[in-house]
Amino acid sequence: MDSNGKTPILQLLIQTNVADIVELESAAGKVRMIPFSGMATGTLFQGIIEPCGVDTQITNPANVRHMSARYMLTGVDDSGASCHIFIQNDAWFTNGERPQPWYSVPMFITDSETLAPLLHQHSFIGEGCRDEEGLHISFYQIS
């Protein structure tokens, strides 16, 4: 549960591949691409984050950072059927750094007949926090 007493619909533990991070810096801003993989758990879905995930962070000259992570989950839904969930997760940080915790706006696409009505027709918020294990992201339904 989060601090508001809500139960997440999905939780991720993300492991970044630090050696594969690619960066550039110019007068127009900074770009950092961070590849990752990990695990996904929850009452609705159990599975993995495929190792093709990437978090693209763009920081403009005013030090506003836009984070846009895209990942594909492979696993089983709550009916036991094999499925995938694609997530695009966006967040903005005005001081260039991520607060603890930080909040994001996720969008889901799934091939799960069981999960599609929930994930395709409702709104969600993401809450992220990093610790020694990695990056933890929890998603909560808000509408």
The pLDDT tens digits for 1-36 are 554 678 999 999 999 988 999 999 999 999 999 999
Per DSSP, what are the bridge partners of residue 131?
Answer: 134
pLDDT at residue 86, rounded to an integer = 98
Residue 54 scores a pLDDT above 70 = yes
pLDDT at residue 3, rounded to an integer = 45
What domains are there in the chain, each with its CATH number?
Answer: 10-141 (2.40.160.20)
Whether the upstream peptide bond of residue 101 has omega within 30° of 0, thus cis, is: yes
pLDDT in tens, 68-81: 999 999 999 999 99
Place of tokens 């533990």: 13
92's tokens: 């903005």
pTM of the model: 0.93
pLDDT in tens, 103-128: 999 999 999 999 999 999 999 999 99
Mean pLDDT of the chain: 94
